[in-house]
Chains A and B, each alone.
Chain A
């Protein structure tokens, strides 16, 4: 049977093509594969579901065996956030022309180049920085690369890393920065912010996140930038862009590199599949030279006034110079960049500010509501979207809440639970959580 995905599997056309080539069978083309490397049996795979209806039924059988965050009331965050995704974001990123395109040239794929240029440009406005990359894989990779960029730029091999970073991201950074970069941890102070006890000229960078893993907004960015700069080091700041309608962008307190994840800008949670990383700097050539990822720029065409696009400083990349390029570049997460651009254009300056204010207010409301029954950590700090609570048993609390149809948060350890509140959580949702926590304890 000719499979619906394979037009030339039909026997008549196969015979016609073989005759045109002058080959007796497809086997002729495989003659370079030695017999001892040939698989002498069919692959052991389930029987095919060739009919689309049968496939749909099978997949539905599997996908119905989940309970998602719309069926349950979810306060899960910790790097993947339940923000509202405007329908227009879904409409644009589902378009065939974007979804199925790949590496077209600036002519036939003008739309992709412009959409990505606009994404980096809107991120540039949000971040107040002039250079933003076409998305890398995720915020983990962005942080790792930003720190490697700082080390290459300063020609040093030691970084001071805030300990208020998620364990998973720390795991990635340890693997990625090995074997040549030493990580020193800066402890978290009582207020939930980074504390720097010692710093000297051997460091390439200070890295901190804001909001950090506890949802705490770091308030001493300027001081830390001054400290880093006084020692010839860089300040690298991981910032969630969705907070920057209300929070100061890292550039405003003189951070040298900003980085992070854009999942919050119009991507669904998708079981952790909606991540993409950004890296941004000012337009300083030696630092721009350290980006491994693609940078798209605007360029003139032979028609005055017309905008064309292309790769900025392509010679940096491994596409151009293999191992002599910076790190590597490959397929990463470009469509999420286009989608984030749609999100930022929909929000505009007022929307992104309103959103930030709603999240700040509801986070504080939730902290106050839960403080009636549990200890809220770092309660005097400014929190954006997340906060940590201390409970007798994380597992017992979360199990109890789950029995009530609530995903109450993420256990950071046996006694600490991280609770996430966004614009999607109404005041009634938060009150429900507070009441359920009280009942469960």
Chain B
């Protein structure tokens, strides 16, 4: 079956084996093309006071060329664009491995909206309820990670990674060990671990996987020494493999005088099972939008949390919330690295994450972990039945798997990215992996706890169908998409300085004038 645009020819009964889908297509113009002089979308209050005359040196000479539109037309434009977008609420979002796409409970959005008119610099007496949420969530995440103290200030997981490396730097500096100028990470840890360490001034050493798919412990042994500031590692890594020797890794780094920092972006499958501190880690971070269900919002606003041992607690970004038994107050740790973000962090997401944990409790978190792992292994079982699909390294997986289409690609010439584009024709998202592609023709699936068995069956069926299409008619798969808002995009101008157009004004200048 080639699902093309002519849906009228498909049978209604019996139902076709795959869901018929077509993304909305509105031929929606670029917003500037909708502008008509003199229209406006909202009126603002009159000054009610004498106007201020500005000197030429600071006065805007020409009005900005913003679109001129009435309110309905702004709304309609954006609602059409929203329809041309998939979110967790609409699709079986298991195809963005490493990102833990899960259901964000709608009720939590209401709690977030309830703090819309709070100002972050209100007197503490006027925000006790919110400070209590901070205090309680800090302790919950402390319990989940085993860490002594937690800061909820960072604006995302990567910002929390940066805050952790800044604390590591401050810790060594305070001990007169500024000569420690190397950070060790692993190839399957998120790129931000390497990139944040580099931004903070460190030389980065990357451990590659050994024959078993684990970070090479011999390479670690060779790398650690008096220049080691820290190990920054994800476990399970983005392959889905949990490193059973993780305690040895931590001990090796500690023996060399370095710190061990745990990226817990992949914590969803180990909640209540194992904890960062219990493996000896000094610092860790969580992505509240991954593990604790705050919505991903097209790429943020996110929120991050840093957990640290007693030794690192003085360096936490400030302020943190203190409780004297009666009221909640803000305090700045004595050797704080300072602010990593304005105010106290992304409070709406702090509120959502708190509510999510409160809805689940200890037993619920364990159910989350176990179900995510069960779902992952069930999906792996289904995917590995598809001819041409494989999962490198014959090891157990926790909450996700990095798969490979190497065999299929060699046989058909169809690449993983093309399979993903074609899979989208059936109403699901699919992602390859971060570069560089250490696993050839990779794709990474992470089902989480949110999806049903029927969802997982459907997703596997879609991939099986596309793989079969690739064998039968590779050019057809390469020509995808067919059911999307737009057709195949020519990406080459995006890398050419003479052609690229990062804004409409650049496009008009380069291509329309």
Query: Is A396 close to B, CB under 8 A?
Result: no
Q: How far is the CB of B50 from chain A (nearest CB, A)?
A: 6
When distances are taken between beta carbons in the complex, the residues of chain B under 8 Å from A285 are 497
B489/A301 in contact, CB under 8 A: yes
B494/A48 in contact, CB under 8 A: no
Cα–Cα distance between A38 and B242 once the two chains are bound (Å): 13
Q: How far is the CB of B18 from chain A (nearest CB, A)?
A: 16
Q: Point out the residue from B129, B243, B367 that lies within 8 Å of A65, measured CB to CB.
A: B129
When distances are taken between beta carbons in the complex, the residues of chain B under 8 Å from A275 are 155, 301, 341-342
Residue of A nearest to B484 (CB): A107
Cα–Cα distance between A328 and B158 once the two chains are bound (Å): 8
B156/A32 in contact, CB under 8 A: no
Q: How far is the CB of A113 from chain B (nearest CB, A)?
A: 9
When distances are taken between beta carbons in the complex, the residues of chain B under 8 Å from A218 are 58
Residue of B nearest to A411 (CB): B121
Query: Is A187 close to B, CB under 8 A?
Result: no
Q: List 8 A-B contacts (CB under 8 A).
A: A43-B366, A92-B75, A110-B81, A124-B504, A271-B344, A276-B301, A358-B45, A362-B47
A271/B343 in contact, CB under 8 A: yes
Query: Is A226 close to B, CB under 8 A?
Result: no
A44/B55 in contact, CB under 8 A: no
* Further contacts, 7 of them, CB under 8 A, given A38-B274, A270-B116: A9-B449, A48-B364, A271-B119, A276-B300, A322-B195, A335-B300, A353-B60
Query: Is B283 close to A, CB under 8 A?
Result: no
Query: Is B255 close to A, CB under 8 A?
Result: no
B374/A29 in contact, CB under 8 A: yes
When distances are taken between beta carbons in the complex, the residues of chain A under 8 Å from B23 are 107-108, 110
When distances are taken between beta carbons in the complex, the residues of chain B under 8 Å from A198 are none
List residues of A (342-358) whose CB comes within 8 Å of B's CBs: 342, 344-355, 357-358
Proximity bits, B170-214, A CB within 8 Å = 1, else 0: 000000000000000000001110111111110010100000000
Proximity bits, A314-331, B CB within 8 Å = 1, else 0: 110011111101011111
Q: Point out the residue from A117, A175, A320, A322 that lies within 8 Å of B166, measured CB to CB.
A: A175
Residue of B nearest to A359 (CB): B47
When distances are taken between beta carbons in the complex, the residues of chain B under 8 Å from A360 are 47, 51-52, 54
B367/A3 in contact, CB under 8 A: yes
Instruction: Knowing A7-B451, A315-B495, A322-B195 are in contact, say whether A101-B296 is a contact too (CB < 8 A).
Output: yes
Cα–Cα distance between A362 and B179 once the two chains are bound (Å): 54
B195/A318 in contact, CB under 8 A: yes
Q: Point out the residue from A97, A111, A270, A334 that lies within 8 Å of B485, measured CB to CB.
A: A111
Q: Point out the residue from A332, A382, A423 that lies within 8 Å of B44, measured CB to CB.
A: A423
Sorted from nearest, which 3 A-B pairs have the closest CB atoms?
A: A272-B343, A48-B361, A330-B158
Instruction: Knowing A68-B115, A357-B51 are in contact, say whether A5-B450 is a contact too (CB < 8 A).
Output: yes
A104/B85 in contact, CB under 8 A: yes
Cα–Cα distance between A308 and B27 once the two chains are bound (Å): 11
B506/A124 in contact, CB under 8 A: yes
Cα–Cα distance between A220 and B131 once the two chains are bound (Å): 42
Q: How far is the CB of A366 from chain B (nearest CB, A)?
A: 9
Proximity bits, A26-64, B CB within 8 Å = 1, else 0: 101111111011110011111111101001101101111
Residue of A nearest to B449 (CB): A6
Query: Is A100 close to B, CB under 8 A?
Result: yes
List residues of A (253-296) whose CB comes within 8 Å of B's CBs: 253, 261, 268-276, 283, 285, 288, 294-296
B191/A26 in contact, CB under 8 A: no
A271/B337 in contact, CB under 8 A: no
Query: Is A183 close to B, CB under 8 A?
Result: no
Query: Is B459 close to A, CB under 8 A?
Result: no
Cα–Cα distance between A322 and B208 once the two chains are bound (Å): 14
Query: Is B40 close to A, CB under 8 A?
Result: yes
Interface centre among A37, A141, A334 (most CB of B within 10 A): A37
Query: Is B148 close to A, CB under 8 A?
Result: no
When distances are taken between beta carbons in the complex, the residues of chain B under 8 Å from A311 are 494
A273/B81 in contact, CB under 8 A: no
Proximity bits, B361-378, A CB within 8 Å = 1, else 0: 111111110110111111
Interface centre among B107, B367, B502 (most CB of A within 10 A): B502
Q: Tell which of B2-10, B62-70, B305-313, B403-411 binds the partner.
A: B62-70
When distances are taken between beta carbons in the complex, the residues of chain A under 8 Å from B364 are 3, 6, 48, 50
Instruction: Knowing A42-B363, A121-B503, A427-B49 are in contact, say whether A16-B453 is a contact too (CB < 8 A).
Output: yes
When distances are taken between beta carbons in the complex, the residues of chain A under 8 Å from B365 are 43, 45
B87/A99 in contact, CB under 8 A: yes
When distances are taken between beta carbons in the complex, the residues of chain B under 8 Å from A129 are 503
Instruction: Knowing A55-B359, A246-B60, A272-B343 are in contact, say whether A66-B41 is a contact too (CB < 8 A).
Output: no
Query: Is B222 close to A, CB under 8 A?
Result: no
Q: Point out the residue from B120, B166, B395 that lies within 8 Å of A271, measured CB to CB.
A: B120
Cα–Cα distance between A94 and B166 once the two chains are bound (Å): 34
When distances are taken between beta carbons in the complex, the residues of chain B under 8 Å from A184 are none
Residue of A nearest to B370 (CB): A26
When distances are taken between beta carbons in the complex, the residues of chain B under 8 Å from A246 are 54, 59-60
Interface centre among B71, B81, B244 (most CB of A within 10 A): B81
When distances are taken between beta carbons in the complex, the residues of chain B under 8 Å from A42 are 272, 362-363, 366
B85/A112 in contact, CB under 8 A: yes
Query: Is B19 close to A, CB under 8 A?
Result: no
A112/B358 in contact, CB under 8 A: no
A125/B505 in contact, CB under 8 A: yes
The number of chain A residues touching the other chain, given as a range, is 35 or more
Q: Tell which of A74-82, A200-208, A230-238, A371-379 binds the partner.
A: A74-82
Q: Point out the residue from A31, A124, A297, A353 that lies within 8 Å of B500, measured CB to CB.
A: A297
When distances are taken between beta carbons in the complex, the residues of chain A under 8 Å from B323 are none
Q: How far is the CB of B239 from chain A (nearest CB, A)?
A: 12
Residue of B nearest to A402 (CB): B123
Instruction: Knowing A323-B204, A328-B158 are in contact, say whether A347-B41 is a contact too (CB < 8 A).
Output: yes
Query: Is B415 close to A, CB under 8 A?
Result: no
B343/A80 in contact, CB under 8 A: yes
B502/A174 in contact, CB under 8 A: no
When distances are taken between beta carbons in the complex, the residues of chain B under 8 Å from A31 are 396
List residues of B (498-512) whose CB comes within 8 Å of A's CBs: 500-507, 509
Instruction: Knowing A6-B367, A269-B119, A325-B195 are in contact, say whether A122-B341 is a contact too (CB < 8 A).
Output: no
Interface centre among B78, B192, B302, B344 (most CB of A within 10 A): B78
B338/A8 in contact, CB under 8 A: no
Interface centre among A103, A253, A344 (most CB of B within 10 A): A103
Q: How far is the CB of B380 from chain A (nearest CB, A)?
A: 8
Residue of A nearest to B169 (CB): A179
Cα–Cα distance between A299 and B493 once the two chains are bound (Å): 7
Q: How far is the CB of B19 from chain A (nearest CB, A)?
A: 14
Query: Is B295 close to A, CB under 8 A?
Result: yes
Q: Point out the residue from A18, A323, A410 that lies within 8 Å of B198, measured CB to CB.
A: A323
Cα–Cα distance between A111 and B435 once the two chains are bound (Å): 25
When distances are taken between beta carbons in the complex, the residues of chain B under 8 Å from A64 are 129
B378/A20 in contact, CB under 8 A: yes
Q: Point out the residue from B32, B87, B161 that lies within 8 Å of A100, measured CB to CB.
A: B87
B361/A310 in contact, CB under 8 A: no
Proximity bits, B327-362, A CB within 8 Å = 1, else 0: 000000000011111111111111100010111111
A17/B340 in contact, CB under 8 A: no
Proximity bits, A118-141, B CB within 8 Å = 1, else 0: 101111111011111011011111
When distances are taken between beta carbons in the complex, the residues of chain B under 8 Å from A336 are 300-301
Query: Is B223 close to A, CB under 8 A?
Result: no
Interface centre among B43, B55, B74, B429 (most CB of A within 10 A): B74
Instruction: Knowing A8-B374, A271-B127 are in contact, say whether A124-B489 is a contact too (CB < 8 A).
Output: no
List residues of B (24-46) whose CB comes within 8 Å of A's CBs: 28, 30-32, 35, 39-46
Cα–Cα distance between A316 and B511 once the two chains are bound (Å): 24
Query: Is B126 close to A, CB under 8 A?
Result: yes
A97/B486 in contact, CB under 8 A: no
Query: Is A190 close to B, CB under 8 A?
Result: no
Q: How far is the CB of A206 from chain B (nearest CB, A)?
A: 17
When distances are taken between beta carbons in the complex, the residues of chain A under 8 Å from B351 are 59, 63
Cα–Cα distance between A16 and B63 once the two chains are bound (Å): 65
Cα–Cα distance between A179 and B337 once the two chains are bound (Å): 13
B45/A423 in contact, CB under 8 A: yes
